[in-house]
Amino acid sequence: MLQTARRPTAVSPVSTPPRAAATTPPPSVRVKGFTRSFGATSVLKDMNLDIQPAEFVALLGASGSGKTTLLRTLAGLDPAPVDQVSTPAARAVVFQDPRLMPWKRVWRNVALGLKGRDIRERAEGALGEVGLSHRLDAWPATLSGGEAQRAALARALIREPKLLLLDEPFAALDALTRIRMHELVLKLWRAHDPAVLLVTHDVDEAITLADRVLVLDHGRIAAEEVVTLPRPRDVDEAFQAIRRRLLSHLGVAGHGPSAAAELIAFRPRQDAH
């Protein structure tokens, strides 16, 4: 019997759903076309800045360049149009002065403004993170400079901020204590993952801590350096190359460590442990 060949059955192709495009989270901070003026003087001019979640950014600039004005704006201390400045609702600031209330014990300073039954326990946990478990009930006047700044850090971090603003918090500390505070800040940043903006006059401090260093000049971001050096950062040739570029942007003639020191305003040192 003659058999006719069967025609192959058409197989419908299996449709593979397209891969979802990787979504980039929105920046924690977005400043777009923002200008801040006081009278006829424009302190910030058409400012544009994004800070990504968990990014550590340092801001350098000469006195009067607008650093503190920008920080105050991001902290919500100065008003700004919501379509030009966007920040997380959860944010905290650590200033150069720890600003502890002398009539409240350390743990109560850390818990200032918080509500709930577990306030003491939360304050104990925050102070434990910064190595001050043994100073819970101390009066602020008995703290060293380094201890007072650690208490200020604990007060900021107990609020679990999505944005942590640091306004020259180590400027009044001695060199050894500053190194210890740098290590502590990096440890806390990794543990809590906030976006961080550090305002500083110290070029080496900026390179040591930040993912990105910005130079503010006459109200505008004049330069940017992305720092990809592994942490902890040694002062090697790559470090020094970044330093030289930043000092050049800042208009400092010398390019060595002594030149970086020229950018640190003189302040009386506090005894700190």
Question: Residue range 154-176: average pLDDT?
Answer: 95
Q: What pLDDT does residue 54 have? A: 97
Question: Residue range 118-140: average pLDDT?
Answer: 96
Nearest to 199 by CA among 213, 184, 188, 211: 213
Q: What pLDDT does residue 21 have? A: 52
Q: How many CA atoms lie within 13 A of 175 on its CB side?
A: 3
Q: What pLDDT does residue 268 have? A: 38
Residues 264 and 171: beta-carbon distance below 8 Å: yes
Residues 217 and 44: beta-carbon distance below 8 Å: no
Banded pLDDT at 18 (limits 50, 70, 90): low
Q: Does the pLDDT of residue 26 top 50, yes or no?
A: yes
Q: What pLDDT does residue 210 have? A: 98
DSSP lists the bridge partners of residue 91 as 163
Q: What pLDDT does residue 259 have? A: 45
Q: What pLDDT does residue 1 have? A: 44
Q: Which of 81-90, 171-180, 193-202, 262-271 has the lowest mean pLDDT?
A: 262-271
Question: Residue range 60-76: average pLDDT?
Answer: 93
Banded pLDDT at 149 (limits 50, 70, 90): very high
Q: Which residue is listed with tokens 């104990």?
A: 124
Q: Does the pLDDT of residue 150 top 60, yes or no?
A: yes
Tokens of 109: 């300073």
Q: What does pTM read for this prediction?
A: 0.84
Sequential DSSP letters for 167-219: ESTTTTS-HHHHHHHHHHHHHHHHHH--EEEEE-S-HHHHHHH-SEEEEEETT
Q: Which of 136-150, 196-210, 255-269 has the lowest mean pLDDT?
A: 255-269
